[in-house]
Amino acid sequence: MHAADPNISQNSPQIRQLDETAINQIAAGEVVERPASAVKELVENALDAGARRIEITVADGGKRLIRVEDDGCGIAADQLELALSRHATSKIDGTDLLNIHTFGFRGEALPSLGAVGRLTITSRAQQAEAASISVEGGTLGPTRPAAHQPGTTVELRDLFFATPARLKFMRTDRAEMQAVTDVVKRLAMAEPFVQFTLSDATEGRREIFSYPAETGTPVEALQGRLRRILGKDFTENAIAIDAEREGLHMTGFAALPTYSRGSAVHQYLFVNGRPVRDKLLTGALRAAYMDFLSRDRHPAAVLFVDCEPELVDVNVHPAKSEVRFREPGVARGLIVSGLRHALAEAGHRASTTVSKETLGAFSQRPMEPRVYQMDRPAANPLPRQSGFAEQSQAFDAVSARVENISVVEQDEQSRPLGAARAQVHENYVIAQTETGIVIVDQHAAHERLVYEKLKKQMAANGVAAQALLVPEIIELGSDASRLLDHADTLAKFGLTIEPFGEGAVAVRETPAILGPVNAEALLRDVLDELVDLGDSDLLQSKIEAILSRVSCHGSIRSGRRMQADEMNALLREMEATPHSGQCNHGRPTYVELKLDDIEKLFGRK
């Protein structure tokens, strides 16, 4: 038994209404977690106002200053005070919370910022006079006339000065600045036709980046903006995505598996133009690349999922970074199937960064001034005609032999992977193309080819099931119904389950390829994935992992000598097989070196 707390009255507690300042400070704790959250809210307001130019300035990582200037529609002077009251917004009328077409709609950002910092809004609507209003720690000042171009400037100083305890949880200025940069970059991806400028005013004014407004079609504009943000390597090694499924439309760019990263920082997901960090979508992205990457590698992608507002709920969290789809299975299926289809269409293509890394790995001695043969002093000059005929004949003989070795049908050399010329170290096939050479890892390439054949056979014939002599009964409680909803899908992979009374299932068959299996552990792992993501690829991944091991053992081994016709057959099959640009573990199966790059290595260019 606990002793009574002397600080708590033993009488019945009294219910009281919190004052407006306390309410706004509580709301700020949900909406504004750090300076980057404030930047996000203010930039989204600018975009909702139709801005085509947005300038963001921060100091001390946003703790001391955040200023957002835009050329949007502006706010009328007589509405500035209303804009700083809670739940006041021009974006919805409150009759339909599912029909939302703007970034903001809750009407909480500005009053929340004014409750924890020193906020000033200066704005001028079209064909109107400019005005300014300030709020400090929740205390509202009067509206005053001001000078301003059409648009709005919001200046937030001393963030969290009214709630100093929050400052103790802030990270270093550098870390907070990095978070601000990431937020602005995500919004810049979502709006490629808008100019974005980010500056740091901590010591003077230093421009961090400036992205001009892009032109062209939406796809061209997005590609141009991504080239500025993620770099040329990403756009050169990314596949354009365009897929639809049951009212959902996915566009964007996804990188080739051989352009994988060591972390998930290059994954950008948007729903109806809104940047989100959604577990369902990131899980689907990971599942789409599951067959091409090892567990320690992550895909790079910028994906936009668009749908009617009624099909997705963005009012899940005050920060609006999470969403909830009406049909989460459809959204997940769109991402997985759309990306896998696009990657299959890429065929044998591998990322250009592989060849760049290969060229960088070549050691090259410092170049010395060239001394041509005619300029070298002749220490012991030979007689003018001595041995010339013999040398010429020897040279012709060598040339003839080289020509005989290198003669290959022209049509093979014009193929993407060229014509096989040689095999070195009993593992690498050297092929010549019209523009350079290709080096193929014969074991890795054949491993992927065998694996794709096995998967194709499995898709055509199904997964063989092993019937259990005695069905295994597994108690799952209320989760049994969730698992039984996916019984048909599991059956396709050789796992047959049936209901067995209340809260239990009977396992009658397991995939034969898995051999002896702990059915209960397998089912519970599948169930955990269903609860977490709404779908499960666990069983499929286990089966494909075994197929991958089988293909590894059944492929051409390192150390085997190959004839010319075998090498060419391998190249032709690679060209015709999807995903042959990387092995089953995500490593490249070949490297292509352009002739221009090779000539640079030898100082010819």
Indicate if 559 and 577 belong to the same structural domain.
Answer: yes
Name the 3-class secondary structure at 367.
coil
Residue 388 has pLDDT above 50, yes or no: no
- Separation CA 481–CA 504 (nearest Å): 9
Q: What is the pLDDT of residue 372?
A: 41
Which of the listed residues 158, 177, 211 is the one where a domain comes to its end? 211
Sequence-distant (6+) residues with CB within 8 A of 199 are 55, 56, 57, 58, 205, 206, 207, 208
Q: What is the pLDDT of residue 454?
A: 78
Average pLDDT of span 255-274 = 89
Looking at residue 428, which CATH number applies to its domain? 3.30.1540.20
- Give per-residue burial for 105-128: e unless 16+ CB within 10 Å, then b: bbbbbbbbbbbbbbbbbbbbbeee
Least confident of 36-40, 165-169, 325-329, 441-445: 165-169
Task: List C-alpha distances in Å: 346 to 299, 343, 365.
Answer: 15, 5, 38
Name the 3-class secondary structure at 524.
helix
Of 10-19, 92-101, 451-460, give the range with the top mean pLDDT: 451-460
Q: How many CB atoms lie within 10 A of CB 199?
A: 18
Average pLDDT of span 572-599 = 85
Alpha helices in 91-148 (DSSP H): 109-116
Domain that holds residue 96: 20-211
Indicate if 134 and 271 belong to the same structural domain.
Answer: no
Identify whether 373 is part of a domain: no
Q: What is the pLDDT of residue 104?
A: 58
Q: Measured on CA atoms in the order 93, 97, 101, 106, is the torsion positive or negative?
A: positive
- Separation CA 121–CA 144 (nearest Å): 11
Alpha helices in 32-136 (DSSP H): 35-48, 80-83, 109-116
Q: What is the pLDDT of residue 405?
A: 43
Looking at residue 293, which CATH number applies to its domain? 3.30.230.10
The answer to whether the beta carbons of residues 27 and 108 sit under 8 Å apart is yes
- Separation CA 148–CA 125 (nearest Å): 10
Residue, of 496 and 362, whose pLDDT is higher:
496
Identify whether 298 is part of a domain: yes
Least confident of 113-117, 404-408, 566-570: 404-408
Indicate if 438 and 569 belong to the same structural domain.
Answer: yes
Identify whether 404 is part of a domain: no
Share of the chain above pLDDT 90, in %: 32
Indicate if 137 and 250 belong to the same structural domain.
Answer: no
Residue 369 has pLDDT above 60, yes or no: no
Indicate if 534 and 438 belong to the same structural domain.
Answer: yes
Looking at residue 128, which CATH number applies to its domain? 3.30.565.10
Identify whether 398 is part of a domain: no
- Per-residue confidence band for 98, with pLDDT thresholds at 50, 70 and 90: low
- The tens digit of pLDDT for each residue in 131-159 reads 999 999 888 899 999 999 999 999 999 98
Of 81-95, 253-267, 363-377, 519-533, give the range with the top mean pLDDT: 253-267
Indicate if 182 and 232 belong to the same structural domain.
Answer: no
Identify whether 254 is part of a domain: yes
Of 105-114, 157-166, 547-556, 596-605, give the range with the top mean pLDDT: 157-166
Indicate if 481 and 492 belong to the same structural domain.
Answer: yes
Indicate if 502 and 545 belong to the same structural domain.
Answer: yes
Average pLDDT of span 541-570 = 77
Indicate if 297 and 419 belong to the same structural domain.
Answer: no
- The tens digit of pLDDT for each residue in 296-340 reads 788 999 999 999 988 888 777 666 677 888 888 899 999 999 999
- The tens digit of pLDDT for each residue in 29-74 reads 566 788 998 999 899 989 988 999 999 999 999 999 999 999 999 9
Which of the listed residues 289, 318, 345 is the one where a domain comes to its end? 345
Indicate if 59 and 41 belong to the same structural domain.
Answer: yes
Identify whether 383 is part of a domain: no
Share of the chain above pLDDT 70, in %: 78
Identify whether 126 is part of a domain: yes
Closest Cα to residue 155, out of 213, 113, 204? 113
Identify whether 406 is part of a domain: no
Name the 3-class secondary structure at 590.
strand
Q: What is the pLDDT of residue 550?
A: 66
The answer to whether the beta carbons of residues 67 and 56 sit under 8 Å apart is yes
State how many domains the chain has: 3
Indicate if 297 and 438 belong to the same structural domain.
Answer: no
Of 184-188, 349-353, 530-534, give the range with the top mean pLDDT: 184-188
Sequence-distant (6+) residues with CB within 8 A of 103 are 44, 45, 47, 48, 273, 274, 320
Average pLDDT for the chain: 81
Which of the listed residues 161, 178, 211 is the one where a domain comes to its end? 211
Average pLDDT of span 441-466 = 83
Indicate if 444 and 473 belong to the same structural domain.
Answer: yes
Q: What is the pLDDT of residue 175?
A: 93
Residue, of 416 and 192, whose pLDDT is higher:
192
The answer to whether the beta carbons of residues 192 and 221 sit under 8 Å apart is yes
